[in-house]
């Protein structure tokens, strides 16, 4: 189906559903059920999930995965995401993790960079030049993220912490999460360490609790209805760094990997349910 049409149609449907859900709320009397806007928004999200345009990105990602590319004319089908070459089922639910061949703790994106450079001979600079899609340009790595994460849907999160380097990354991620700096002296925790907080109509998940980390992490990456674009977890982090008035982090850097590992490991035990759909 035509992508632009689908984007417009999804936004239109989303708006109608949101209006219906919120209208229902306004109609509800004092003390009745439906007073909590979060419940309405949650229903809205569930209704949208049944027709998530992220599926188009998953399909595009599969095509990229199986098409020869780069100077070596190779596909990504032998890429090892931690469970062996070519094993995709459940791989994302165990990332980030330590990889013996690189000696690094890697998240999905940094590992895809490893596969694209070693298997296909692409330069890292080419890959990271377009990490995030815009209205005019579709990012290849983001589509591959959609395809790979979808292969872990329904799988229990099990990020390993057995290796000292993994535990070190967890500790670094935790420090970064609570690290206060910038013009407002904000840390991630400034916005994400209390229950039932909201900025306007957006829930602020308490990421310091297990259930908060589980709900947040397992629903990313996600299709963003308001932007009409599929968004990776890296994008989510970058946007929060921006809200924190911090400089934009380097793509697939050890800092973002550590922060991702901290949240992902805290989500262990939950069923991964991405790619999700967000407002």
Q: Which residues are catalytic?
A: 240
# of chain residues touching ligand HEC (CB under 6 A): 24
Instruction: With CA atoms as reference, report the closest residue to 272 among 198, 225, 213, 228.
Output: 213
3-class secondary structure per residue, the chain: CCHHHHHHHHHHHHHHHHHHHHHHHHHCCCCCCCCCHHHHHHHHHHHHHCCCCHHHHHHHHHHHHHCCECCCCECCCCCECCCCECCCCCCHHHCCEEECCCCEEECHHHHHHHHHHHCCCCCHHHHHCCCCCCCCCCCHHHHHHHHHHHCCCCCECCCCCCCHHHHHHHHHHHHHHHCCECCCCECHHHHHCCCCEEECCEEECCCCCHHHHHHHHCCCCEEECCCCEEECHHHHHHHHHHHCCCCCCCCCCHHHHHHHHHHHHHCCCCECCCCEEEC
- Please give the residues from 170 up to 199 whose contact with ligand HEC meets the rule CB under 6 A: 177, 186, 188, 190-192, 199
| Residue 152: CB minimum distance to ligand HEC, A | 17
Please report whether residue 243 would count as binding ligand HEC according to CB under 6 A. Answer: yes
Nearest CB to ligand HEC, comparing residues 82 and 275: 275
- Candidates 105, 225, 259, 261: give the one binding ligand HEC (CB under 6 A): 259
| Residue 193: CB minimum distance to ligand HEC, A | 10
Nearest CB to ligand HEC, comparing residues 24 and 185: 185
Nearest residue to ligand HEC, scored by beta-carbon proximity? 188
Nearest CB to ligand HEC, comparing residues 138 and 190: 190
Nearest CB to ligand HEC, comparing residues 190 and 209: 190
Of 37-45, 69-77, 125-133, 233-241, the segment contacting ligand HEC by CB under 6 A is 233-241
Of 5-13, 36-44, 163-171, 235-243, the segment contacting ligand HEC by CB under 6 A is 235-243
Cα–Cα distances in angstroms (integers) from residue 164 to residues 3, 167, 207, 210, 260, in the given order: 45, 5, 24, 22, 17
Nearest CB to ligand HEC, comparing residues 90 and 275: 275
- Candidates 110, 149, 193, 219: give the one binding ligand HEC (CB under 6 A): 219
Of 26-34, 90-98, 127-135, 213-221, the segment contacting ligand HEC by CB under 6 A is 213-221
- Please give the residues from 96 up to 125 whose contact with ligand HEC meets the rule CB under 6 A: none
Q: Dig out the tokens for 43 from the structure.
A: 């229903």
- How far, in Å, CA of 221 to CA of 86, rounded? 21
- Candidates 53, 90, 131, 205: give the one binding ligand HEC (CB under 6 A): 205
- Interface residues with ligand HEC (CB under 6 A) are 177, 186, 188, 190-192, 199, 202, 204-205, 207, 215-216, 219, 236-237, 240-241, 243-244, 259, 263, 278-279
């Amino acid at each position: 189906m035509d992508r632009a049409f689908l984007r417009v149609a999804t936004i239109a449907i989303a708006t109608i559903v949101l209006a219906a859900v919120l209208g229902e709320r306004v109609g509800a009397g004092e003390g009745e059920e439906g007073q909590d806007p979060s419940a309405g928004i949650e229903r809205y999200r569930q209704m949208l999930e049944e027709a998530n345009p992220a599926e188009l990105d998953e399909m595009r990602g599969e095509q990229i995965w199986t098409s020869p590319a780069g100077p070596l004319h190779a596909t990504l089908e032998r890429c090892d995401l931690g469970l062996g070459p070519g094993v995709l089922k459940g791989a994302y639910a165990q990332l980030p993790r330590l990889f013996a061949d690189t000696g690094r703790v890697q998240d999905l994106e940094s590992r895809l960079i490893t596969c694209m450079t070693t298997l296909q001979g692409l330069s890292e600079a080419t890959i990271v030049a377009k990490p995030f899609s815009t209205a005019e340009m579709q990012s290849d790595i983001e589509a591959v993220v959609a395809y790979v994460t979808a292969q872990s849907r329904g799988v229990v999160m099990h990020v390993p912490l057995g290796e000292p380097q993994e535990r070190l990354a967890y500790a670094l991620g935790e420090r970064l999460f609570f690290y206060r700096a910038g013009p407002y002296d904000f840390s991630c925790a400034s916005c994400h360490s209390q229950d039932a907080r909201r900025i306007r109509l957006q829930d602020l998940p308490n990421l310091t609790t297990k259930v908060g980390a589980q709900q947040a992490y397992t629903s990313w990456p996600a299709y963003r209805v308001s932007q009409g674009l599929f968004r990776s977890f890296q994008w989510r982090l970058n946007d929060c760094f921006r809200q924190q008035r911090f400089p934009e982090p380097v793509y697939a850097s050890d800092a973002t990997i550590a922060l991702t590992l901290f949240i992902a490991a805290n989500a262990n035990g939950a069923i991964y349910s991405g790619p999700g759909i967000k407002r």
